Structure 1
Amino acid sequence: MCGRFTITHPNEALASMFDAVMGNDLPPSPRFNICPTTPVAVVTSDSGSRRLRAMRWGFLPAWYKTPTDGPLIINARSDTVAQKPAFREAVRSRRCIVPASGFYEWQTAEDGTKLPWYFTRTDGQPMALAGLWQRWGDIDTVAIVSTDAGPNMRGLHHREALMLEAADWPLWLGEAGHGAALLMKPSAEGLTQCHRVDRKVNSNRAEGPDLIEPLAA
């Protein structure tokens, strides 16, 4: 799953990486503790023209009367998106990419304590997380797609965010025909690395570069 992530790369660098036109409503960078319901940068494509623009993290199905009319939907399971009423149309026609410099996952200790780990790509590049988006009123909202845990995540959690490689972006964004379902698979061995971080990130009010520093032994 993905419940918190970071953006430490500048918006300009993300726009260049994805060959996207940068919107003027993007949230500032860096951000070290991005939480649900806040704005995030999202890559969309319309007839092959990509945009990097802001969306609310927290997918609002069309039938919600208010943003709190139902459960907060921040993730969409890859194995059920084609069947779930909330996502059926979005997975066909409103796929997007959520850039992330890294994300947090929590391990439950024997005493029930939640121990945070921070994951990044081993090559230092931003992650391209698969997303689905929905317009609700005048708000564009997004959920991050999750899949079975890859080898680097197993032992901490049974799910992880679906990470896309650059060669897969055109297919996921709908620029290269059909077959996006084939991309919904766990990450490869060695794609990510992780380290323990301080439990202060457990608070959604915490912020700052010290949140991603390795925990001292």
Structure 2
Amino acid sequence: MCGRFTITHPNEALAALFDAVPGNDLPAGPNFNVCPTNPVVVVTSEGGVRRLRAMRWGFIPSWYKAPNDGPLIINARSDTVATKPAFKAAVRERRCIVPASGFYEWSEGEKGARLPWYFTRADGLPMALAGVWQRWGDMDTVAIVSTEAGPGMAEIHHREPVVLERAAWPLWLGEAGHGAAVLMRASEAGVLTTPYRVGVAVNSNRASGPALIEPVAA
């Protein structure tokens, strides 16, 4: 799954990378501890135009009467996203990309301790995480698609976010026809850096600052 990530690349750089028109309400960065319910930057394609938009991280199904009317949904599983009532319309009609500079995952240490690890792209570019979105009231909300862990992740956690390569962006965004289901797979070996341990300060959703991604002894 993906429960925390970072976005340290400026919005202007993201707009250029994704060839997207930026909105005027984008969350300011950098953010070294993006948490569920935070506003995040999302890439959509609407009417042939890519847009950089702000959304709430935490997908709210259409039948919720309030944002907290059910579980907080931050991830959508690749194996059930097309069949679960919450997501099946969104994965057909409202796919998007969630840019991230890196993400955290946790392994279990002694006595159940949560040990955080940090992942980035090996080429230093922002990650393009596959997402699905839903409008609820006057708010747009998003979930990140996760899949079975691949090389480099499986030893830390059994799931990982779907990281889309540049060539896959048009298909995922609905610009290149049908068949996006084939993209919901783990990253190939070498795409992500070898993860490194970071300090447990990031275990708190109140923690912030660049020190969160500094390596510590494993």
The TM-score with structure 1 as length reference comes to: 0.99
Please give the alpha-carbon distance, in whole angstroms, between the structure 2 residues aligned to 1:13 and 1:102: 16
The 3-state SS of whatever aligns with 2:170 is helix
The 3-state SS of whatever aligns with 2:65 is coil
List alignment gaps of at least 5 residues for structure 1.
none
CA contact (8 A) 1:98 1:128 kept: yes
Give the corresponding residue for 1:201: 202
CA contact (8 A) 1:47 1:175 kept: no
* Residue 155 of structure 1: how far off its partner (Å): 1.1
Give the corresponding residue for 2:54: 54
Please give the alpha-carbon distance, in whole angstroms, between the structure 2 residues aligned to 1:216 and 1:115: 11
Please give the alpha-carbon distance, in whole angstroms, between the structure 2 residues aligned to 1:187 and 1:2: 14
Give the corresponding residue for 2:179: 179
Give the corresponding residue for 1:9: 9
Give the corresponding residue for 2:123: 123
Task: Confirm or deny that 1:25 pairs with 2:25.
Answer: yes
* Aligned partner letter, 1:166: R
CA contact (8 A) 1:8 1:101 kept: yes
* Residue 47 of structure 1: how far off its partner (Å): 2.2
**Once superposed, which parts of structure 1, at least 4 consecutive aligned residues long, lie more than 2 Å away?**
none
Give the corresponding residue for 2:189: 189
Q: 1:86-101 alignment to 2 at 5 Å? A: 86-101=86-101
* Residue 102 of structure 1: how far off its partner (Å): 0.1
Q: 1:41-120 alignment to 2 at 5 Å? A: 41-120=41-120
* Aligned partner letter, 1:213: E
The 3-state SS of whatever aligns with 1:89 is helix
* Aligned partner letter, 1:54: A
* Aligned partner letter, 2:25: D
Give the corresponding residue for 2:132: 132
Give the corresponding residue for 2:150: 150
Identity %: 74
Give the corresponding residue for 1:35: 35
What is the count of residue pairs matched by the alignment?
217
Please give the alpha-carbon distance, in whole angstroms, between the structure 2 residues aligned to 1:168 and 1:216: 36
* Residue 2 of structure 1: how far off its partner (Å): 0.3
* Residue 132 of structure 1: how far off its partner (Å): 0.2
* Aligned partner letter, 2:17: M
Please give the alpha-carbon distance, in whole angstroms, between the structure 2 residues aligned to 1:39 and 1:20: 18
The 3-state SS of whatever aligns with 1:121 is coil
CA deviation string 1:23-63 (max 9, x = no partner): 11000110000000010000000122000010000000000
The 3-state SS of whatever aligns with 2:112 is coil
* Aligned partner letter, 1:62: S
CA RMSD across the alignment: 0.8
* Aligned partner letter, 1:55: M
Please give the alpha-carbon distance, in whole angstroms, between the structure 1 residues aligned to 2:137 and 2:36: 19
Please give the alpha-carbon distance, in whole angstroms, between the structure 2 residues aligned to 1:70 and 1:197: 32
* Residue 216 of structure 1: how far off its partner (Å): 4.5
